[in-house]
Chains A and B, each alone.
Chain A
């Protein structure tokens, strides 16, 4: 366990301090929960991580006849769930920071789908800052994405029908999530949640009916969804597995060679 190995590194002192620390923490958390119901849910689940796969990027359309010098492309920057699920369960709001030449370059989007559409002429780096709900995480997460307007091939024939799509897949990992967060999202399709041992009693998740009543934040029927890229981890896994096999075979071969060489040397010598 990595935690223990780091303790061993520091000669066991840390393990004593860590052990007593966690004990104190548990005692204090217990005391606090008696006082305040809300605070009791702040207990953190150790060695648990919740990951939320997201895709963020830009889609840009050439405006064709309607283009003028300063507005040649219409583009949209967004953050969506990797399987087009609603990210509002985790994300409170997303702030897109555009180029200073835009008026009010800091644009905040308070509800899903977290996207922003604009028109312009230049490519620049967009800073995407994700703010989470209070029980998820206090810190914000910064992502950087370069807005691409012009297609790779410089043939110059831009079509108003086919956009330039650049998407990046990534996963936001929350380590040691709070119990309330875990309980809230444990059955949500947007979130990957590990299986906990049966000893944990968590409050049941929100019922599905509530979610239907609220506005839908998923991107399944998004107007741009036809352009969304598909990210399949199966392909990558297969390739990686094959590569590893090859490398392992090479290693085995070299080891055999080395043995042969040394045995051969003994004969000669």
Chain B
């Protein structure tokens, strides 16, 4: 706005319809009170979205004109004090009338109402083999002095008594007195001391449990959380199961009920008991188990399942450690071998064989990778050690490596190889590949030597 002033431009582009919208324009041009012009301009010259604190909202000085205020240095005493000490302070005098009343802060001097027993009452109700009268008196005196702060009291107590013992003695004495003094037992029945007596053993247990929880290591915490989560899952699944079984007639209902009872008692046994009927759809077994060998245990929980789904799950479990690329390579290998990715006739035997085959292919691929890694290491070592010597030996080595690693990669399982079912003949057959490779490598070596 200042800039436009300097430039001599009209204040707002909408100078014409200014009459139509006077209010917004007026607000932006008028500087409100209580806030400087520059600061107001920072907000863009508009009213802030939030209501800012208006000066008129602040408390006004409530002095009327007919009052005359003076201040005087006056002495005072406090009823909260027991020693009658006199101090001085400034006092606001209105129309020369000095204020009356107690020291204004004396009302905050609260203390606990400790029961006071007489000698006879002690003889009659309060004798206790564990406590002498002196100790009890001392206890009560300390309680009064320290406002029932038992930690301090226990500290000050001459003979070493635990906090629980002191509390126990104090509360039981108070309770006894209360009951004894009451006109009838009905009157005090509502009193908290009577209604809920102090239970020392429970307190000790509670504090011990608290300290245990406090001193738990992270490891333990995590374990506890796991157990609780598992228990929650079990109870939830049982609830679903209850709902699912409502509309079906079944003979094993008695079994199921017994199982749930036992499992609710037996929360610590984390894994679902083998007799538990999981209500998940029969076709989709629970995904809790990942280990291949334990899937039969989880599948036993279902009553019926399809073998292909079992196989899928097992395959997934077996290849869970492998990455996506490895899985693709496994599938490629299967295809090269002429095996269907999903068996056409999934009988028990076929599925077992299929699974074993997949596992073996995984092993094979892992071994190949290991071999490649080792060879890479070896060749890099050779690179470092043979830097001066002409490169022929290591190039030959690398060529050999390339040939060797090439053959496993291609895995050319043509139809003719599959035809040879006799594996005894296969072993020497494989060996026969080894001799050809060195001759093959000789050719590149000669080539490179001629180049170099």
Contacts and interface: CB of A to CB of B under 8 A. Distances in A.
Interface of A: 2-3, 5-7, 9-10, 13-14, 16-18, 21-22, 24-25, 28-29, 32, 38-39, 41-42, 44, 51, 53, 132, 134-143, 169-176, 178, 192, 231-233, 235-237, 239-255, 257-258, 261-262, 265, 268-269
A42 B307 contact: no
A137 B304 contact: yes
Given A5-B294, A261-B378, A250 B345 contact: no
A175 B363 CA distance: 31
B185 interface: no
Given A139-B302, A242-B418, A245-B423, 11 more contacts: A9-B291, A24-B262, A44-B275, A170-B306, A171-B348, A232-B345, A236-B350, A237-B353, A246-B418, A249-B427, A250-B430
Interface stretch (B4-12, B126-134, B199-207, B365-373): B365-373
Contacts of A140: 282
A42 B266 CA distance: 24
Contact of B304 (A39, A173, A240): A173
Interface of B: 245, 248-252, 254-255, 258-259, 262, 266, 268-271, 273-275, 277, 281-283, 289, 291, 293-297, 299-300, 302-308, 310, 333-334, 337-340, 343-350, 353-354, 356-357, 360-361, 363-364, 367-368, 370-371, 374-375, 378, 381-382, 404, 408, 411, 413, 417-418, 421, 423, 426-427, 430
Contact of A42 (B251, B283, B300, B337): B251
Given A14-B271, A137-B304, A249-B427, A244 B297 contact: no
A231 B340 CA distance: 14
Given A14-B270, A17-B273, A51-B307, A135 B251 contact: yes
B299 A21 contact: no
A53 B289 CA distance: 26
Contacts of A16: 269
Contact of A231 (B333, B345, B417): B345
B229 to A, nearest CB: 14
Contacts of B367: 251, 254-255, 258
Nearest to B250: A138
B251 A261 contact: no
Given A233-B347, A258-B374, A175 B299 contact: yes
10 contacts: A2-B295, A42-B252, A51-B348, A141-B304, A175-B303, A236-B350, A240-B339, A240-B353, A241-B353, A248-B360
B240 to A, nearest CB: 13
Contacts of A239: 337-339
Nearest to B276: A21
A171 B346 contact: yes
A140 B281 CA distance: 8
